[in-house]
Amino acid sequence: MSTSPTLLEAARPGTPGRTTGDWAVEAHGLCKRFGDIVAVDKVDLFVPRGSAFGYLGPNGAGKTTLIRTLLGLTSADGGTMSLLGIPVPSERTRALARVGAIVDEPRFFGHLSGRDNLRMLAAARGCQAPTRIEPALDRVGLAQRADDKVRSYSLGMRQRLGVASCLLGDPELLILDEPMNGLDPAGMHEMRTMIDTLVGEGRTVMLSSHLLDEVERTCSAVAIVDHGRVVRQGPIAELVRGTGTASVRVECDDPSAGAVLLEQSAAVTGVTVEGPWLTVTLPTGSSREAVAEVNRVLAAGGISVYRLEETRASLEQWFLSVTSRLGEK
């Protein structure tokens, strides 16, 4: 499966208007192997600053390994990377001062309270981190339970404590690995709101997930990873529109006649009739002008059009189309 050269090119630093400092996360040819298994395979990744970026892939695709490599939790076997424009691992300490991260399920000392766990992490961060413990607890809604032992926390509370630990460094970049795992719908909504707020404050949130719907709701841009390789990346809207199959649903007074007319048009690749509706398939990469052409053809044939709506592939459909998982199914 090939990558999308257009989108990748648009994201590269060499592109006019883009420089290295624009990227919150930048990786070139990043590799990580575990014996014969290639977990991260020559990954080029560009996460724009000040946005919510989804790192999307099926289980076992290498999402967590890439995050661990970026954070210096494990060493890379090849490639270069930088966080907030600061090269890592050579200046890892300086880079991570501005980064908060949750990798896998957030785990803490169960025999300590949430506040004490944050004290430990704040002491490790140094500077003003200890003064941010209370605001962070307030922000994630754990202030009331902060003195309870973490072993009594639910998974959702531990996720929130994980986010609080990220906030101790007042980070510019947050890397959240599967932050929705284990959360109930209300918790997921809270997390989504929190991410929106963080992005609204100018922070960058890189969100790793296999939950397509959540990524679609939360993120503006996405990278799809499969078998350790980034197969697509860019703004979600552009990706879906650019690579999915576009179609138009038309409600009209005579669908059968409309179908005959449209099948003769070069702007259409297929037509199906479903009751009063026509589903018109357009060529891949069609512009909005193709939709107008459908309307013109029907009107010219004397068919009354009551409603015309563009349908696009969902992120899920697109995800399945660009990863190998559809074939496996």
> Where does this chain bind other proteins (CB under 8 A)?
19-22, 24, 26, 28, 48-51, 68, 71-74, 80-82, 85-87, 92-101, 103-112, 116-117, 119-128, 130, 165, 169-170, 172, 199-204
- Judged by beta carbon, residue 125 or residue 229, the one nearer other proteins is 125
- Judged by beta carbon, residue 129 or residue 231, the one nearer other proteins is 129
Distance in Å, CB of 12 to other proteins, minimum: 14
Distance in Å, CB of 49 to other proteins, minimum: 3
Distance in Å, CB of 11 to other proteins, minimum: 15
- Judged by beta carbon, residue 51 or residue 321, the one nearer other proteins is 51
- Judged by beta carbon, residue 51 or residue 324, the one nearer other proteins is 51
- Classified as helix, coil or strand, 179 is coil
Q: 230 near 56, Cβ under 8 Å?
A: no
Amino acid identity, position 105:
E
Q: 57 near 211, Cβ under 8 Å?
A: no
Q: Please state the φ and ψ torsions of residue 15, each to the nearest 5 degrees.
A: -65, 140
My answer on whether omega of the bond before 16 falls inside 30° of 0, hence cis, is no
- Judged by beta carbon, residue 201 or residue 213, the one nearer other proteins is 201
- The span from the first CA to the last CA of the chain, in angstroms, equals 17
Per-residue tokens: 278: 């026509």
- Mention every residue, 6+ apart, whose C-beta is less than 8 A from residue 47: 23, 24, 25, 26, 53, 204, 206, 221, 223
Distance in Å, CB of 131 to other proteins, minimum: 11
Distance in Å, CB of 29 to other proteins, minimum: 11
